[in-house]
């Protein structure tokens, strides 16, 4: 899970927005290509980039595309603040800045020959998507693979066409739940933790990767403990207060670590003591 080196980490590289795809009412996906020739921006599942709107600011956004397609970058973004609200107004052809990649990666090598549980909540499916692509590309290396996905309502489900295709392929066992059902929804209603009790896994040869709101990750980890998955085999993605991507500014310090440099992926014992403490 070691951090990978970034290319000129403090200098944004210009990328052109090739396509903009609406996902949900306040979430959209950018497909980006570099405007200049040079070394491609190669990332690994779990890493993030700093995306900037020149003259406005920059924000950390996890990569949500396929790590084996280095000629493009894909980022799924929620419009929630000053910078991302401006991002939502951008169109194909506009130029933005990219710094990265930053952070460490999901333990995909350690998960080989194991059952894999991916538990995600809400927008957490976006940073988990590169991991799903990797598992699909190298499906023979892994045993049972579960994707347990929870959203607030059916309208908040990301990538519905891909979810359907992955499920129909038989490569993934996908189980989706929502907090609030709506007319036409015939699936589960409840929490992601409700899905964990029914999966068939070998707990001593399983690895779980969890991404979503911190409260969801906390209770998901506890539910995985009940399935006898060891805490050291449960990994969480922490994305909180990141500003520079290099650990220099100190805004994302959590206990003795910096989320942008030492994370964002942590095994549960490494982060347990600080999971609910906002001011560390």
Residues pairing with 254 in the sheet? 257
pLDDT(136) > 80? yes
What tens digit of pLDDT does each residue of 67-108 get?
999 889 999 999 999 999 999 999 999 999 999 999 999 999
Q: For residue 248, what pLDDT is reported?
A: 81
The model's confidence at residue 4, banded by pLDDT at 50, 70 and 90, is very low
Q: Which domains does the chain have, with CATH numbers?
A: 13-101 (2.40.30.10), 115-237 (3.40.50.80)
- The stretches of the chain forming alpha helices (DSSP H) are 82-87, 125-137, 160-169, 192-196, 214-226, 259-262, 268-271
Q: For residue 6, what pLDDT is reported?
A: 46
Q: What percent of the chain has pLDDT over 90?
A: 78
Stretch 224-228: mean pLDDT? 97
* 3-class secondary structure, 229: coil
Stretch 128-132: mean pLDDT? 98
What tens digit of pLDDT does each residue of 148-168 get?
999 999 999 999 999 999 999
Total residue length of the chain: 280
Q: What is the mean pLDDT of the chain?
A: 92
User: In this structure, are residues 52 and 131 in contact, taking their beta carbons and an 8 Å threshold?
Assistant: no
Rg over alpha carbons for the chain, rounded to the nearest Å, is 18
* 3-class secondary structure, 84: helix
């Amino acid at each position: 899970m070691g951090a990978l080196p970034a290319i000129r980490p403090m200098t944004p590289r210009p990328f052109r927005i090739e396509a903009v795809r609406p996902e949900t009412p306040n979430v959209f996906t950018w497909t980006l290509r570099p405007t200049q020739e040079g070394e491609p921006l190669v990332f690994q599942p779990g890493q993030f980039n700093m995306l900037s709107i020149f003259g406005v600011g920059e924000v950390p956004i996890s990569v949500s595309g396929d790590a084996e397609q280095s000629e493009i970058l894909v980022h799924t973004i929620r419009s929630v603040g000053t910078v991302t609200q401006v991002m939502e107004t951008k169109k194909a052809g506009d130029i933005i800045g990219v710094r990265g990649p930053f952070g460490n990666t999901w333990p995909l090598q350690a998960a080989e020959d194991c059952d894999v549980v991916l538990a995600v909540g809400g927008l957490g499916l976006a940073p988990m998507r590169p991991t799903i692509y990797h598992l699909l590309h190298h499906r023979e290396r892994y045993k049972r693979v579960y994707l347990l996905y929870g959203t607030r309502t059916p309208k908040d489900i990301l990538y519905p066409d891909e979810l359907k295709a992955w499920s129909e392929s038989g490569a993934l066992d996908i189980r989706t739940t929502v907090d609030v059902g709506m007319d036409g929804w015939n699936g589960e209603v409840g929490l992601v933790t409700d899905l964990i009790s029914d999966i068939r896994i070998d707990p001593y040869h399983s690895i779980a990767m969890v991404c979503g709101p911190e409260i969801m990750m906390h209770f998901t980890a506890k539910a995985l403990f009940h399935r006898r998955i060891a805490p050291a085999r449960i990994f969480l993605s922490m994305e909180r207060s990141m500003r520079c991507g290099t650990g220099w500014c100190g805004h994302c310090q959590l206990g003795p670590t910096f989320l942008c440099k030492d994370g964002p992926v942590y095994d549960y014992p490494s982060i347990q003591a600080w999971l609910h403490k906002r001011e560390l």
